[in-house]
Structure 1
Amino acid sequence: MSAEGWTVIQRRWDDSVDFDRHWIEYQEGFGDPAFAKNFWIGLDNLYCLTNQRNYKLSITMRLANGEFRFANYDSFRIDSEKYNYALHVNGYSGNAGDAFKHTSETEGTNRWQDGMPFSTRDRDNDRWNEGSCGRRYRSGWWFNNCLWGNLNGPFKMQTNGWPTCNDGVCVLWQSINDYEKYSLVRVEMKVMPNPRSQMY
């Protein structure tokens, strides 16, 4: 789905489409972009798209109180299936924080997701030695050990207007200040050619 030069690669509006899927489904894509609410473009499509020229990524996230947060990256691409569609992002800007490259004093880069291959419930490519991040967090994503962001996680039901997510099993972007323990209520990821960026 394209709009104003952008190509939407993922959209989450509600829980009508299950994102806890197998590897082949994430490869091929699922949902119907024609209806514009919930879909995933597919890893094969995303690889072909982001490797034909330099691309940038824009992520729009809606919080439970109606506010929006944004994470933008000047450079975005994924590797081929041979390398399990590893993620490459650079040049963050926005007001949501950089969950893809988050570091902490206690964990260092253990949850750093840039450079990580894609994992699903049936294809474990993460660095979590105790299990599968895809199974634990019920989605396909670029997990490390395990995450700071997971925009393909399941939606949480709202309690008193706030979708609490203490276990991390939700639509999550933990680098948002004061929103680390709540599920997002809507998400959109979109890409556009960026002639000013350099592939890396």
Structure 2
Amino acid sequence: MHPLHNADKPRCTWPGSDALMLRYHDDEWGVPLHDDRKWFEFLLLDAFQAGLSWKTVLHKREAFRKVFHGFDPRRVARMSDRELAAALENPAIIRNRLKVQSAVRNARAFLSVQAERGSFDDFIWDFTEGRVIRNHWARADQVPAATPLSDRVSKALKAKGFSFVGTTICYAFLQAAGVVNDHLTHCFRHSEINAIKPGRP
């Protein structure tokens, strides 16, 4: 884990001074992902982020983990009406009925993609032929909210039955999961992530 107290490390601006955001930025965001359980976690959390800040969602992540069975898509796909009703009464998460219902719908769609393609990971990385998109943004205002890549991913996910997967949400989880390296060029993680050997395990 990178030392969060080290003020000498230049970072992206979006984590601010929040310790949890800094830890997420330093340890997770932008690292190329090849784990289906983690893919489902990012899909679920980014769907709940729609219209809200990532900081809000991140501070509720452990509560989401408990409610949604450790982000196990098989268990989420089988959640009962009683469990969903309890989730909507749980103040520790974001209590939005459409988003809670979409978690179950997306879990079922996720399992369908796994059955069809072998893994969700293979499905997503095929959009870039297994390559990381290495951007070189100098300023935060240069980083796009969506791209033609996220447009294609959004369209494909919607066609497979996913909801809350608009192009902006899709770009957010492509950034989070390292399909795109959008750390700013002055950020110490930009070069570290670019040094990670590309490709699937």
With the length of structure 1 as denominator, give the TM-score of the two structures: 0.29
Q: Which has the higher strand share?
A: 1
Bigger radius of gyration among the two: 2
Give the TM-score, by structure 2 length: 0.29
